[in-house]
Structure 1
Amino acid sequence: MSLPRRPGMTVPLAGPLHAQRDRIVELADMGFTDVWSAESDAGDGLTPLALTSVWEPRLRLGTAILPAYTRTPACMVQSAASMADAAPGRFVLGIGSSSNVIVERWNGVPFEEPYKKVRDVVRFVRDAFSGEKVTKQYDTFEIQGFRLGLRPEQTPPIVVAALREGMLKMAGREADGAITNWLGADDVPTVAAALREGAGGEDRELVARVFVCPSENAEVVRAGARRAIAAYMNVPVYAAFQEWLGRGDELAGMWAAWKAGDRKQALAEIPDSVVDALVVHGSPAECRATIDRYFDNGVTTTSLAVLPFDPDLDAWDAITSLAPSAG
């Protein structure tokens, strides 16, 4: 892989957003190159990046992700143009389908044809960034006469949230890379191969949100991780991803118990092997070694998400222990 390794962190950090400036600067001091935001049920995905763009010019800024459904196409490209204009050459637009829970249950938007919707939004954003007036019928929406009035100095790259073969190949064809999560280090070659195939053998950025808890209290960490895994892996898109990765048999008991309404048994059915693959834990040195394996196996950019499963673990100390400079 010829692309550089980019160690990143998920933002916002713990605590009030307005009070995070010093910590953001410290991230860059410790060797982190990127910060990546999300948009689900907390803050929006752009405000933390806008603040970071002013606080720390060394960091690249990315969304992982903005849902393709919850902003209209014109609003999406305006949002991207504003961030790209605020941080020239440092912003990466991550777009994805999100999930039926976030899109349909929480936002009241039908979660229909996610593959086509993401592809169409990516195509429209590219069309709009050309500066030309867009009048076009896409498969999932129609644009009549939109011209982007803000032209940033540098057009931001686009990466697509992708969990399975079809979306990964589309990310390779239509975008500059892919974003993925809830995968183990040993799953990366499978994901990277599909992305590269879609790109016709060319290099593409592969961003991975890596869930990590640098604690040696394995019992406590695994208990918390099981709750997180059950919450995610019963969402259809994530269940299908784990099946594609080959964990269908390992998770069958959990899915059956969950469907039957027995949440306690569902947690008990998740084997340690699944927990240990999907959530990085152990000593800080062990965690850093596992994170290195993600890079070795084809990830180009990480977005570490420190999970607070161990109550004795200080969140900032955990981040510090995982920093590139700590190794």
Structure 2
Amino acid sequence: MRFGLHTGYWSAGPPPGMADAVARADEAGFDSVWTAEAYGSDALTPLAWWGARTSRIRLATGIAQMSARTPTATAMAALTLDHLSGGRFVLGLGASGPQVVEGWYGQPYAKPLARTREYVAIVRDVLRREAPVTAPGPAYPLPLPDGVPGATGQGKALRSTVHPLRADLPIHLAAQGPRNTALAAEIADGWLPAFLSPALDGEARALLAQGFAARPEHRRPAGEHDETFEVCATVPTAVAGSIAQAVDLLRPHLALYAGGMGSQESNFHREAMARLGYGDALAEVAAHYAAGDRDRAAAAVPEELVREVCLVGTPSDIAEQVARWETTCVTTLVLQTDPRALPALTPLLTPPTPPA
């Protein structure tokens, strides 16, 4: 089991201590560091700034929102960071949700799976640099066709002036719904689940197998799994004197995602957690959150749910909980935690010495 560090969303400003935490994670042997974006800080700038102090850890966006940039702009950023980091960049992409896409970026959210297919195909064409990039659309036509309002008709198919360091730079897709998960296995190099639980491993494996089967024949794995395909699951983590104390630390986090990270009609985080059988409790959380009572929303998060999708307690408690993940499809546990907890979690990187 590999481990990553998720730096999370910024609140009013940069998370205190995170620059040092990223440097410590690099020194300690963490596999990867991940950054997020919603409608405040972006995912690329912190990765470049903090990553400049590192030498070996992989630098990953978890996630870069597709609607924030055109596919070619995202490919430019990816190939640039890959060069600057010496081949350590991982491009994590996601469609976000209608509240952000339409409210912040002013773009339609319809047909996210079709848009994702187009987007990834264009990014890969830029990175392969085999020919000038063209795309039929409809979401991202290149060059912009005649007849589009405001178009001059002078668009030209172009090829990147920069030669990518890696034409096969890894692209991972964030997905929580069944169809998105299968799509990740079909067209990407990795899947980025959130609020996953070992209890859902069978369902996850079936969806990934469905995606592998939809690949072109030359890309299908020989067996049930693609050994090169990564599953990097973000897991909220809290270190405290007891499991109960740590659960209370993470209740507000889950309440935010269940009640505040999406509209009342469409919240993919809440839907993912509801698959564990907590639909009624999550509806109560969302209702309190919508009413502005965040304390009651947090209090309504069931302890059992927190323990299913998070790592909580003392370092030894957390080590025991990690063992549940080792037989799942997850290849990397990406710990989303307070930077001050990092020293207590570093022993997870060293397997225990077997008895003589």
Residue 193 of structure 1 aligns with which residue? 206
2:237 is matched with 212
User: For residues 351 and 97 of structure 2, what CA distance do their matches in structure 1 show?
Assistant: 35
Moved more, 275-284 or 261-270: 261-270
Superposed CA deviations along residues 219-257 of structure 1, whole A, max 9, x for unmatched, are: 554344222222211321112222344432443443455
What's the % identity of the aligned pairs?
Answer: 29
Q: Within 5 Å, which residues of 2 pair with 1:237-248?
A: 237-248=268-279
- Provide the rounded CA distance (Å) in 2 between the counterparts of 1:92 and 1:206: 13
Contact 2:26 2:55 in 1 (8 A): no
Contact 1:77 1:128 (8 Å CA) reproduced: yes
Amino acid at match of 1:233: A
Q: Deviations over 1:27-57 (max 9, x none)?
A: 2332212111112245321223324544222
Distance of 2:313 and 2:108 partners within structure 1: 41
Local SS of the residue matching 1:120: helix
Counterpart Cα distance in 2 of 1:65 and 1:231: 18
Segment drifting more, 196-205 vs 297-306: 196-205
In structure 1, the residue corresponding to 2:76 is in which secondary structure? Answer: helix
Given that 2:36 and 2:64 are in contact with CA atoms closer than 8 Å, whether structure 1 keeps it comes out as yes
Cα offsets for 1:256-300 (capped at 9, x unmatched): 555677655544432211122223211111112323422331211
Q: Deviations over 1:57-108 (max 9, x none)?
A: 2111111110010111221111111112222432111110123343333333
Q: Which residue of 1 aligns with 2:150?
A: none
Distance 1:193 1:83 in 2: 34
Task: Please tell me whether the aligned partners of residues 207 and 300 of structure 1 are also in contact (alpha carbons under 8 angstroms).
Answer: yes
Match of 1:321 among 326, 344, 353: 344
Q: Alignment length, in residue pairs?
A: 312
How does the TM-score come out when normalised to structure 1? 0.84
2: distance between equivalents of 1:119 and 1:149?
24
Aligned residue number for residue 15 of structure 1: 16
| Counterpart selection for 1:304 from 327, 335, 339 | 335
196, 199, 215: which one aligns with 1:183: 196
Task: Give the equivalent residue in structure 2 for 1:222.
Answer: 247
Distance (whole Å) between structure 2 residues aligned to residue 193 and residue 172 of structure 1 = 11
Shift of 1:209: 0.9
Equivalent position of 1:282 in the other structure: 313
Q: Distance in 2 between matches of 1:225 and 1:61?
A: 26
- Other-structure match for 1:162: 175
Alignment counterpart, residue 48 of structure 2, candidates 47, 50, 75: 50
Letter in 2 for 1:128: V
Q: Is the 8 A contact 2:209 2:225 kept in 1?
A: yes
Where do 1:258-269 residues align within 5 Å? 258=289, 265-269=296-300
- The answer to whether 1:120 aligns with 2:118 is yes
C-alpha RMSD over aligned residues:
2.6
The CA distance in 1 between the partners of 2:329 and 2:104, in whole Å, is 34
**For the residues of structure 2 that align with 1:120 and 1:197, how far apart are their CA atoms?**
20
Q: Please tell me whether the aligned partners of residues 127 and 166 of structure 2 are also in contact (alpha carbons under 8 angstroms).
A: no
- Matching residue of 1:312: none
Question: Partner of 1:69: helix, strand, or coil?
Answer: helix
- Work out which of the residue numbers 86, 91, 94 in structure 2 matches 1:96: 94
Q: Which residue of 2 aligns with 1:152?
A: 164
The answer for unaligned runs of 5 or more in structure 2 is 9-13, 144-156, 214-223
In structure 1, stretches of 5+ residues that fail to align are 308-314
CA gap 1:46/1:190 in 2 versus in 1, 3 angstroms: same
Task: Provide closer, same or farther for how the CA distance between residues 219 and 291 of structure 1 changes in structure 2, counting only shifts above 3 A.
Answer: closer
> In 2, Cα distance between the equivalents of 1:136 and 1:262?
47
Q: Identify which of 322, 326, 345 aligns with 1:295.
A: 326
**Which TM-score applies when normalising by structure 2?**
0.78
AA of the residue aligned to 1:149 = T
- Looking at structure 1, the residues matched to 71 and 39 of structure 2 have their Cα atoms a distance apart, in angstroms, of 21
Structure 1 residue matching 2:191: 3-state secondary structure: strand
SS of equivalent residue, structure 2 residue 135 = strand
